[in-house]
Amino acid sequence: MNERICVMAKRTDNRSLLYWIRKAGASLFFLGFIPVASGTVGSAVTVAGIGYLHWHERYSALFNEHHPLLWWACSIGLVAVSLVLSSHAKETFGRDDPGPVIIDEVAGQFITFFMVPISLRTLIAGFFLFRFFDIIKPFPVNEMQQLDDGVGITMDDVLAGVYANCSLLLTLAAYHWIRGYL
């Protein structure tokens, strides 16, 4: 009888409000539970959200390359939220770096577009560059995954976002430089 009470108490402890907030937030309102390519889905939703914020009348003045401090503040805020929500991933999801955790993709993808002029072309290029660096994981992105808990989950995507951002900015600069000579 006592064992049954302990099992029931443990089961209800795992289903606390904080548990569900972490699970819903870390999986981007359960989108992370899509069985195939959940990271790609998280990145695509983020790119769509950035496009919406940029082209929507109310937010277009704020979410563009002319307000880098606001963009950077939002990026830091997203990284902080990702760190908090992906911490204790083993207790919440049962694994150290679970697939359903895609809030880190949101933070990394957002960093990709820092100081980048938003257009349909840059959104598509930034999406593919971020996914490339997130999947390939060049040094030191691959080393970031070895960090503990939420830090390791988040920081590899942050660095992939930095690599994608630098690549996108260099590609745009090269494009405009070449176009200037034609």
Which ranges of the chain does DSSP label H, i.e. alpha helix?
2-14, 17-26, 38-55, 68-86, 89-93, 103-112, 120-136, 141-144, 149-181
Tell me what pLDDT residue 14 has.
Answer: 53
Residues written for the chain: 182
* Banded pLDDT at 7 (limits 50, 70, 90): very low
- Give the integer Cα–Cα distance in Å for 132 and 171: 15
Tell me what pLDDT residue 110 has.
Answer: 93
Tell me what pLDDT residue 66 has.
Answer: 78
Determine if the pTM surpasses 0.85. Answer: no
- CA dihedral for 134, 138, 139, 145, sign (positive or negative): positive
Tell me what pLDDT residue 97 has.
Answer: 67
- Structure-token pair, residue 80: 């902080």
